[in-house]
Chain A
């Protein structure tokens, strides 16, 4: 299986604090790679570097595309999603609460729809070419809503959904930009066991059906161990272990990092 993402010697410093220290790892296509570690290990910072919210102090991040590779450092802000096709979700859900579920999914297809609407010109003239493309976007939204079982709530405000549904909606919203890499920041936080299981199913579906690599930060070990193909363990910004889920479970370093060592 080919590499999708390679992170090389990534370092991020805030003033005197080193949040990520010389981190290197790879993530493969059609795999779920989990980043785990105790609180404050620097997991979210890795995401923020990858998705252009922070500019790393040092190191490189490459996204592989067939033979070529593009450097994520070159893209900041919205271009990460727009050009590099890296999508993400947030630890504390960031939907557009006062907009409907369907609208949330359409905003995710914004760039495509902008072109389709002739930068609003065709849209204002109400041309058929735009209406057709808008219908396609709605169909795509419906496709994803069917998968997470929220089609009946498409016209309700996203903010009115129950918490677990909001989590799922945020994930499929990210999928609507057709990402090559999907970064999920604690998607199972606050979910009950049944919802966690549904989440697992959804992530497996994305992995196998959508040819998208998933990078996952998670504390819920039932999720991590259940679906991860590869696990990277961080502590104090450093990588202390890397391997399959089973290997991780039995690793001495990992257990020490989580539970501490008897002196």
Chain B
């Protein structure tokens, strides 16, 4: 029982990270109907920017909360630039091309980003000293002590705050309305005088910023990154987006949590070697039997 609770806590933490990445997938899919294959690598770049900033600020000796806030903002800013540029270079010229073109272009972009970071930052793994240590302990009297680290609390709370801001942005502001309009019918939205290109750009910026936050969390949580982390994390987050119902924002978060839980439970109870198989199998099963996910809209084939 205690072990289960521990895995639950770990799963929720991991799920928060996946959920934040998944939002980027689901938003882009909602608005331009493509799988942004390079999104996982945007997350990876976010993690690198965060790592670099941590090292720099680590040398200055500023108080920890300020460091966290600064790194968060810096990571969001610089990663957003990547998201914006990728869209402008690789996706925007392809609107109206044949249906697999954006996916292939995204695949190319993903390869570029991965190898670019490998060249620029080296292929070795990058370890970082833990910044936030300590935690709360529960069930001290039992055989298995459940630990909830401060870092885990930080990750979950930050996720909830970001989700709050984000939900407000999408449901209550002009920007959110424009975005939802573009999802429904891009041509009509443009005819009504909304700058569709700008709205799409902003979608990529938001998605990349959230992914960079996930990247920062990843650095803090695992303490080690390399140029390849974006691939697996990206696939898992995409699975999360599909599981929650692609196009649905609460769905992405829900899917993220589920994938995080499935992964930790699988590693905890079944087999740690095959933990990635669990994620991939979920992906395949969901896509085959359950393509609309939990909160997605059914995709009626128009004849």
Q: What is the interface of chain A, defined by CB distance below 8 A to chain B?
A: 14, 44, 48, 53, 90
Q: Closest residue to B98 on the A side, CB-wise?
A: A98
Question: Does chain A have a CB within 8 A of B303?
Answer: yes
Q: Closest residue to A53 on the B side, CB-wise?
A: B303
6 A-B contacts, Cβ less than 8 Å apart?
A14-B300, A44-B303, A48-B303, A53-B301, A53-B303, A90-B303
A44 to B303, CA, bound (A): 9
The A-contacting residues of B in range 193-222, CB under 8 angstroms, are none
Using Cβ atoms and an 8 Å threshold, which residues of chain A touch B303?
44, 48, 53, 90
A90 to B303, CA, bound (A): 7
A44 to B300, CA, bound (A): 15
Q: Closest residue to B301 on the A side, CB-wise?
A: A53
The A-contacting residues of B in range 82-123, CB under 8 angstroms, are none
Using Cβ atoms and an 8 Å threshold, which residues of chain A touch B301?
53
Nearest Cβ on chain B to A13's Cβ, whole angstroms? 13
A14 to B303, CA, bound (A): 15
Kindly list the 6 A-B residue pairs having the minimum CB-CB distance in the complex, ordered from nearest.
A53-B303, A48-B303, A90-B303, A53-B301, A44-B303, A14-B300
Using Cβ atoms and an 8 Å threshold, which residues of chain B touch A44?
303
A48 to B300, CA, bound (A): 12
A90 to B301, CA, bound (A): 14
Nearest Cβ on chain A to B187's Cβ, whole angstroms? 15
A256 to B300, CA, bound (A): 33
Using Cβ atoms and an 8 Å threshold, which residues of chain B touch A48?
303
Nearest Cβ on chain B to A186's Cβ, whole angstroms? 13
A48 to B303, CA, bound (A): 8
A229 to B61, CA, bound (A): 90
Using Cβ atoms and an 8 Å threshold, which residues of chain B touch A90?
303
Using Cβ atoms and an 8 Å threshold, which residues of chain A touch B300?
14
Contact with A along B268-303 (1 / 0, CB 8 A): 000000000000000000000000000000001101
Q: Closest residue to A91 on the B side, CB-wise?
A: B303
A97 to B300, CA, bound (A): 24
A53 to B301, CA, bound (A): 9
Nearest Cβ on chain B to A49's Cβ, whole angstroms? 11
A14 to B301, CA, bound (A): 13
A44 to B301, CA, bound (A): 13
A170 to B239, CA, bound (A): 40
Nearest Cβ on chain A to B23's Cβ, whole angstroms? 28
A53 to B300, CA, bound (A): 10
Using Cβ atoms and an 8 Å threshold, which residues of chain B touch A14?
300
Q: Closest residue to A94 on the B side, CB-wise?
A: B303
Q: Closest residue to A44 on the B side, CB-wise?
A: B303
A220 to B301, CA, bound (A): 27
Nearest Cβ on chain B to A175's Cβ, whole angstroms? 20
A45 to B300, CA, bound (A): 13
Nearest Cβ on chain A to B297's Cβ, whole angstroms? 11
A245 to B71, CA, bound (A): 76
Nearest Cβ on chain B to A185's Cβ, whole angstroms? 9
Q: Closest residue to A14 on the B side, CB-wise?
A: B300
A180 to B259, CA, bound (A): 51
Q: Closest residue to A45 on the B side, CB-wise?
A: B303
A216 to B81, CA, bound (A): 55
A38 to B301, CA, bound (A): 23
A136 to B235, CA, bound (A): 50
Nearest Cβ on chain A to B282's Cβ, whole angstroms? 28
A53 to B303, CA, bound (A): 8
A44 to B302, CA, bound (A): 11
A173 to B300, CA, bound (A): 26
A195 to B300, CA, bound (A): 33
Nearest Cβ on chain B to A61's Cβ, whole angstroms? 17
Nearest Cβ on chain A to B100's Cβ, whole angstroms? 14
A80 to B131, CA, bound (A): 65
A53 to B302, CA, bound (A): 9
Nearest Cβ on chain A to B118's Cβ, whole angstroms? 38
